[in-house]
Amino acid sequence: MLIHPLVAIWLAATPTLSQHISSSTNPEGLGIPGNAYQFALPNPVGAGNCLILGLSYAWSESRTVFVSDNNGNTWPASPAVTTSDRTNLISSIFILPNARPGATTITVTFDDLINPVQYTLSEFFNVDPVSPLNGQSSNNAAASPFLTTGRFTPGNNDPNGGNLIWNYYCTSGVGSSNWVTRFTSVDAFTLLDADIGFHAQGVQHASQYWVQPIAAELNPSMTANMTPADGDQFLALAVALKAASAGTPPPSGIRIVRVNHSTWNMPAPGNWDLQLPSIGNLLVLATNENSVIPVIGVTDSNGNNWVLVEPDGSEPQIWYAANAIPGPNLKVTLALDNGASNATVVLYDITSASTTPFDVAAGVPQTSVDDLSSIDHFPDITPTTVNGLTIACIGVGQGPELAINSPAGANDDLVHYAGELDTDLMDNADGKGHLYNSDLSTENWTWTITPISGNSAGALAVHFNGAPHDPEPREPP
């Protein structure tokens, strides 16, 4: 059937990122084996949108994976593409088209308690809601620094906008003495996340995407520069998903676009480099109190000015860069004046914030929570502006934190899993969450924690202002 050119233009749609999250890992030999890993997207999913889940997990000949969520979606029983080194890791990509709307928590269940585990999750709109998969490729031995997924040609979806090419890379060199110093996209691809935080023994990973308007052979690629030597092998996967005029774009207003997690079990004195691919005009780092991770300054490759919020030195730290210049290759450096143990940093990429985003902060210094299973007023914070964003953290002496009970609508930003202990290396068993406020009510942050004798905890919440109207996007340098 011939399609009139004007109709073809009307049908064409561009797959567009709504939100993205990416975890750190619990490395084999260091992390804690677990199961039923639960993690939430930072914003409600839009009706009819597509969820793309990249997973890396411990290899077994009989390994099984079951993906589900709290929103009644039926995830496919098998991945769209998978590969393995048949020794250490399996990597897979699962595709859920036509997702139900609403707050969404994913649960990934394996046949046993395992580690390592790493998850990466994207939501896109304008993806075919019925049968989006239009090609795939995989490579179980991509050697750094130049990583490729393997050549393939997506199916022809040119009249409808082409294909979204989404690809995922994870090192299979578990226990290697090398680590990635920078991931860089190749050609027209855009980085979604790039975890370089865990040195040696960790599991470095990254993902990226591109909309290919006209079907042609391609070999999705990125570079992974490593130290002290290149040559480590990665699992590399790619899928092509058909564009279509479908789904729901995100609402206007201040919004978290990405939440990326970085962990290292032994940061040394000096500089700790992280990557924060970003598009927002407010960048936020949330981490433990200074006695756990002694940060004396934060800088980045775009020259943004980072400000510390920590009313009391025993409370968690929140660093933010206002009116930020983001970028797909942004590198953030934490200066440490002493070594740290089991340090996690959660990196928030936030769009449509005010150019003067800081509103108010409230904290609770380290205090006894002896044998308590619920801690409330941790802290209380009263915003002075509506339609903003609160980011809240607790540092627990002995975790794990299990849930956020209030305020209503608050989102828990950390992973939880069966078998999790205080020595968890994915998020260090502490608590981080956020809330979008529609009024000026006082927020009572209440957390469920593991009751332990002699336990203590501190807390911090910071409220950020949204822009009075969506600002023009900043161009990265």
Q: Write down the pLDDT at residue 122.
A: 98
List, for residues 183-237, the tens digit of each pLDDT value.
999 999 999 999 999 988 778 999 999 999 999 999 999 999 999 999 999 999 9
CA distance 408 to 442: 12
List, for residues 118-128, the tens digit of each pLDDT value.
999 999 999 99
CA nearest neighbour of 439 among 471, 405, 407, 469: 407
Residue 62: count other Cβ atoms within 10 Å of its Cβ.
6
Q: Write down the pLDDT at residue 117.
A: 95
Tell me: pLDDT of 8 over 80.
no
Tell me: pLDDT of 111 over 80.
yes
